[in-house]
Each structure stands twice: as structure tokens, then as C-alpha cells.
Amino acid sequence: MLSTAAQFVGTPYRYGGAAPGGFDCSGFTSYVFAQHGIGLQRTADAQMRSVRHVPADQAAPGDLVFFTSGGRAYHTAIYAGNGQILDASRSGGTVTQRAMWTNQVVFGRVLA
């Protein structure tokens, strides 16, 4: 999963994007997982509600990370381990690997 995600580092952010020409956060995660035959819901919040949540101390590379506010996910990323994520972050940005900026997250594991 991580090697697939890493192939897209540098891909531009595109609101609503779900293909290599440009990704938003949930478009990126759903596209990467689809390359492994795993379907995900389209939005960050729907993805969070459809996976098995795991405690932070059990999170593993390849799990999803959901950044939350008010009980809803507003952003999703792929956990790379050691506090790092791969994500499509914001307008004007690109897919990057970077440090998590908060611990207010929910980790989710996709069961294939």
C-alpha cells in the first residue's frame, strides 16, 4: 500500500480529484486502495465510518488516519508509520509524506 501511495508524491491537489491527474484527500486514499482491489467510500467521513477503528498504539503502516472535529472526519491520509502520513493536503499543494500535526485522529484498518 505504501509503495503505491508513494508513487503519487508530487501529484497536485485537486478538489474532488480521484485520479492521478489530481487528488483530494479521500480521492487519494480511495484510488490507492482501489489499486489493491479494495473499494472505499468516497468521502473522508464515510471512509471513517466504514473501517474498523484501531487504537493508536496498534496503528500500522497502510492504515487510514482520520483527522476529526465534532465527531466527523474532515481529512484522511494513509499512515506511513512513525507519526508520518501520505496525503493530498490542500489546494495549491501536492501529495506529500509529512508528519502528523495533531493527535486528534482516529486510525482505521480496512479489512479486505
Copy the grid coordinates of residue 45: 467521513
Determine the 3-state secondary structure of 19 from DSSP.
strand
Q: Active site residue: 25, 36, 45, 57, which one?
A: 25
pLDDT tens per residue, range 53-111: 999 999 999 999 999 999 999 999 999 999 999 999 898 999 999 999 998 899 999 98
Burial of 79 (0-12, 13-18, 19+ CB in 10 A): buried
Concerning whether 53 is annotated as a catalytic residue, the answer is no
pLDDT at 111: 83
Annotated active-site residue 36? The verdict is no
| Residue 63 bears catalytic tag | no
pLDDT at position 101: 93
Give the residue, 103 or 112, on which the prediction is more confident.
103
Residue 112 has a pLDDT of 65
Per-residue CA distances from 49 to 2, 24, 66, 86 (Å)? 22, 18, 10, 20
Q: Could you give the CA distance from residue 44 to residue 74 in angstroms, rounded to a whole number? A: 6
Mean pLDDT computed over 11-39: 97
Domains observed in the chain: 2-109 (3.90.1720.10)
